[in-house]
């Protein structure tokens, strides 16, 4: 089995509230580097770790993580809607392998996913049906959140289970780094919002458009400096990237939910997807980072990063 990893931030504001052309060009360069890396690696299976933003998972049942044997995208923020090309046999095999290794995995036979899953597939592969994928939801938004050590355990178990497949597997993490976008919070929510977060009523097109406009306006306000959102934290973001690059993944076991939220904002927990992806790669042997890009981009409300990593040649 051959393995590689990519971490890629996502933002619903890409293309809607873009930064200055030089920043945009630097991001495009970094993304092109990641695309070339993926093309050269030529994966025949992508294990995609991504969060949800109350489009697929709700408080009626909110697992810490969940693997899909089938998945459909809702098409939020202009992202593609429809079926992802899930490799159901590989998904079932990984699910069995994870459960055999003592990690209590939830499995969905029809997962609903949003831009968190779709953006990286569109950016790196040009669509949601271009490559066999195993989608793995990692809760990075809905508190309470469990210990980060369990996300590392999940990533490790999936990596070990994938290692017995005769495949070229790309572990892909979607989200982060520090950012505090306006995602609804259950605690203190008015009854109508709380009910939507618990039950998951699909929004009408008008409701969805209003929610998306609220996020776009928040991006404009954030870039203009008029907001109470937690600032992007380049020092913390680089600590996260340094930790992943160094391979000292056990360090993350000491990262508390409170510390991550205080340093990186309410959606900083999306870095759990990166931790899972790198733990999976680490489970197949030692690795090295081949590219790393970082920029704080207030227009996208994102500490925005792209990283690629491959197995060491002499493992
Ligand atoms: O209706 C809403 O409020 C939707 C909010 C939402 O989906 C925001 C998403 C933000 C990100 O995905 C991000 O910055 O990571
Ligand atoms: Fe997100």
- Report the 10 Å Cβ neighbour count for 2: 15
Determine if ligand 1 sits within 6 Å of the CB of residue 14.
no
* Nearest atom, ligand 1, residue 203 CA: 1
Q: Which helix (H) or strand (E) segment is 305 a member of?
A: strand 302-311
pTM (2 decimals)? 0.98
Q: What domains are there in the chain, each with its CATH number?
A: 2-311 (3.40.830.10)
Q: Which of 8, 76, 215 to mutate to test the pocket of ligand 1 (most atoms within 8 A of CB)?
A: 215
Angstrom distance (rounded) from CA 282 to CA 310: 10
Is the ipTM, as predicted for this complex, more than 0.90?
Answer: yes
- Report the 10 Å Cβ neighbour count for 261: 17
Cis amide leading into 177 (omega within 30): yes
User: What are 23-68's pLDDT values in tens digits?
Assistant: 999 999 999 999 999 999 999 999 999 999 999 999 999 999 999 9
Contact status, residue 179 vs residue 302, Cβ threshold 8 Å: yes
Q: How far is the CA of 182 from the centre of ligand 1 (A)?
A: 6
> Which residue minimizes the CA distance to atom 7 of ligand 1?
53
Q: Is 115 an active-site residue?
A: yes
Query: Of the residues 10, 53, 179, 269, which is catalytic?
Result: 179
User: What are 119-175's pLDDT values in tens digits?
Assistant: 999 999 999 999 999 999 999 999 999 999 999 999 999 999 999 999 999 999 999
Instruction: Work out the burial of residue 315: count CB atoms within 10 Å of its CB; fewer than 13 is exposed, 13-18 middle, 19 or more buried.
Output: exposed
Tokens coding 171: 């572990």
Number of H helices, E strands in the chain: 9, 11
């Amino acid at each position: 089995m051959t393995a590689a990893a990519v971490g890629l931030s996502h933002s619903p504001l890409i293309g809607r509230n873009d930064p200055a052309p030089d920043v945009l060009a630097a991001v495009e360069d970094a993304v092109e580097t990641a695309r070339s890396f993926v093309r050269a690696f030529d994966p025949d299976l992508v294990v995609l770790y991504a969060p949800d933003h109350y489009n697929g998972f709700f408080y009626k049942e909110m697992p810490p993580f969940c693997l899909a044997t089938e998945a459909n995208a809702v098409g939020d923020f202009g992202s593609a809607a429809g079926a992802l090309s899930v490799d159901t046999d590989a998904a079932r095999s990984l699910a069995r392998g994870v459960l055999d290794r003592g990690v209590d995995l939830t499995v969905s036979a029809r997962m609903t996913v949003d831009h968190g899953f779709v953006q990286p597939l569109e950016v790196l592969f040009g669509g949601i049906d271009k490559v066999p994928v195993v989608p793995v939801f990692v809760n990075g938004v809905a508190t309470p959140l469990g210990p980060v050590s369990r996300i590392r355990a999940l990533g490790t178990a999936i990596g070990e289970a994938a290692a017995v497949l005769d495949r070229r597997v790309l572990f892909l993490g979607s989200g982060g780094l520090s950012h505090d976008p306006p995602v609804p919070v259950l605690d203190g929510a008015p009854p109508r919002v709380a009910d939507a977060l618990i039950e998951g009523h699909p929004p009408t097109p008008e409701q969805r458009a209003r929610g998306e406009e609220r996020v776009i306006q928040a991006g404009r306000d954030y870039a203009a400096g008029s907001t109470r959102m937690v600032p992007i934290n380049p020092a913390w973001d680089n600590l996260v990237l340094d930790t992943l690059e160094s391979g000292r993944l056990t360090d993350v076991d000491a990262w508390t939910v409170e510390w991550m939220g205080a340093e990186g904002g309410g959606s900083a927990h999306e870095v759990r997807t990166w931790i899972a992806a790198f733990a999976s790669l680490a489970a197949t042997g030692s690795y090295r980072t081949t590219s790393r890009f970082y920029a704080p981009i207030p227009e996208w409300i994102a500490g925005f990063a792209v990283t690629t990593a491959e197995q060491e040649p002499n493992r």
